[in-house]
Structure 1
Amino acid sequence: MIAKHLHLILSAGIVFSVAMVYGFQPTLVFDVTISSIDEANIFKAIMGLYLGFAALWIIGVFKAQFWTIATLSNVVFMLGLAAGRIISILFDGLPSGIFVLGIFGELVLGCFAIYNYRKFNVPN
């Protein structure tokens, strides 16, 4: 039954990896210099948010009663990120290639989560 959980597994793996970069090496993907504790704190907070969602998605894989909320949160997370990036393109211009790829990945994973929700969600 891996197909039911694939959107959660893929998303958790990707988001965990991104969280580690954002939290510990943001200069790998951002043209920024972290020059204060407050700036480092912001990136660590984003890391924590990402890790929290990744944890919820993994819980949804192993605990059936959390699958629906994990899947719905995955839809909101992925499509919310994609929407924010699209708004940024409209107002700020085209970002670097890695972030354009991010939009594509977020749209695919968000739509895949919707597909799996419709396919596997059993109403109570």
Structure 2
Amino acid sequence: MTLPAKFLIFAVLGLTPIALSYGLYPPITMQFLFGIEAEGTNFTHIFRAIMGLYFANALFWLLGAYKQKYRLAALYSLVIFMFGLGAGRFLSLIIDGMPHWLLFVYLLLEIGFGVAGIYMIKKSGKEELK
């Protein structure tokens, strides 16, 4: 298995608990992790939609990990996903101030995964030329 494929699997493993923390049972997890109330159908609906978005991307990344013809597209989607999340968090940091420490850690991880994804795209491109 190539390094970019392993990276995609690693990203899925890292993203899965985050996705579950957002959407499996938001009233409990949001209170436990961040001290916020996530009561009511609208609130849980939004968090479960976020979980679905995370899992949809994770499934595509798994496809890219195991099917070489989708690998480059999966890496690009990972970079866009991570930098998109990071950009939103960075904007919030500027406008709203410092969030819960765990959300700041998520920002650092998203930037790290995005940068690593760019490296993997370059590495994946070189492997395809062989």
| Match 1:120 to one of 112, 115, 124 | 124
Equivalent positions of 1:81-100 (< 5 A) are 81-100=85-104
Alpha-carbon distance in 2 for matches of 1:89, 1:67: 32
Normalized against structure 1, the TM-score is what?
0.90
Normalized against structure 2, the TM-score is what?
0.87
Alpha-carbon distance in 2 for matches of 1:28, 1:59: 33
Kindly tell me the number of residue pairs found equivalent between the two proteins: 123
What is the DSSP-based 3-state SS (H/G/I as helix, E as strand, rest coil) of the residue aligned with 2:91?
helix
Contact 1:26/1:43 (CA < 8 Å) preserved in 2? no
Equivalent positions of 1:30-69 (< 5 A) are 30-69=34-73
Deviations 1:77-116 (A, max 9, x none): 1111111111111111111211111111111111111001
One-letter code aligned to 2:52: G
Q: Are 2:69 and 1:75 aligned?
A: no
Map of 1:19 onto structure 2? 19
Deviations 1:22-80 (A, max 9, x none): 01233232332222112111111111111111111111111111111110000001111
One-letter code aligned to 2:42: D
CA RMSD of aligned residues (A): 1.5
